[in-house]
Amino acid sequence: MLVTFAWGVEQKCTGKPPRRGWPPGRRPSFYQAALALSRTARNRTHAKTRLNRHTANLVMMPAVQTPHALCATFMAPRFYTPDTEFQLGRTARLTDKARHHAGRVLRMAAGERAVLFDGKGNEACGPISFDEKGAGILVEDIRRPATESPLRMTLMQALVSLEKMDWILEKAVEAGAAEIIVFPSERSVVKLAGERLAKRMAHWQDVIVGACEQCGRASVPALAFEQHLQQALGSKRCPARYILSPGESAAPRLTALQEVAFAVGPEGGFSEEEIALAKSLGWQPALIGPRVLRTETAGLVALALAGAASGDMHFV
């Protein structure tokens, strides 16, 4: 029904012309349809809108009264509120940063639904309100969403260009990584230390949190930085530890695992000395395909393969 009636929803309910991205005769995607309905409902939070298209009717209720899981979980804005204990019927406060984003950036109005998550797997949903002290939501529902992978995956990424690092961290979160460890490698061009490292770590943490807000995760992956390769490799003790190397022939065994770790080198890969060090620490060199993958691709492909083997990624 969402897809059938989404075309023309905004024009009929708000007086605005249809979006350019939906040309006549083309059905919008389910996501586009849900987004249109959600946007229109927010504009008419005190009204019921009845649409008639062809021979059927669509009754659309305000977003604040819509229990549909899509609107409540994926369409509602999500905000990270660490160290917050959610209680039904109580108000959970947003952080100053989240309040600014909700009020100034998203232009949310009082009564619109929002989702807060504590980074430990819990999230709360309810209408948002604003006052002189900031913003908060009245907790109407508390849940632990099933968005975490059954396989604990760790990505150990050698330091690469900062732009690539942002992209790798964001996509690793979306792929389900539970822990991300960054370290300098012999062929790493970028060097970080002192205040510059501290600023970069804070930035990376924001990237990870933003990715969690976007993809629906309620648990924030751990982020760490190790100054040396040996320290990074020695910090993991799980049985399945693979260091990716295009010069190898053995494929990683990813079935029937509870935890796995992948080490990915910088542009140019690991040196022979680094591969030998990894072997001495119990890591297994592995190749995940017949083609040479870039550093920003290899780890994400490995995470996706492991997620598929564990049942986290669905396919037929």
What's the pLDDT at 273? Answer: 95
Mean pLDDT to the nearest integer, 59-67: 35
Percent of the chain scored above 90 by pLDDT? 67
CA distance 42 to 129: 14
CA 187 to CA 169: how far, in whole Å?
20
Q: Count Cβ atoms within 10 A of the Cβ of residue 176 and give its class: 0-12 exposed, 13-18 middle, 19 or more buried.
A: buried
pLDDT confidence of residue 34: 54
Q: What is the pLDDT of residues 139-174, one digit of tens each?
A: 999 999 999 999 999 999 999 998 999 999 999 999
Confidence label for 36 from pLDDT (cuts 50, 70 and 90): low
> Which of the pair, 306 or 133, is modelled with greater confidence?
306
Mean pLDDT of 2-26: 46
Q: Residue 66 has what pLDDT?
A: 38
Structure-token pair, residue 251: 């494929």
Taking only the tens place, the pLDDT of each residue in 176-191 is 999 999 999 999 998 8
Query: Which pLDDT value is given to residue 141?
Result: 93
Is the distance from CB of 106 to CB of 75 less than 8 angstroms? no
- Kindly state the percentage of the chain with pLDDT values over 70: 77
Provide the pLDDT confidence category of residue 89 given band limits of 50, 70 and 90.
very high
CA atoms lying within 13 Å on the CB side of residue 205: 13
Q: Answer whether residue 72 shows pLDDT above 80.
A: no
**Structural domains of the chain, with CATH:** 2-63 (no CATH), 76-143 (2.40.240.20), 152-310 (3.40.1280.10)
Distance (Å, rounded) from C-alpha 200 to C-alpha 203?
5
Predicted local confidence at residue 35, as pLDDT: 53
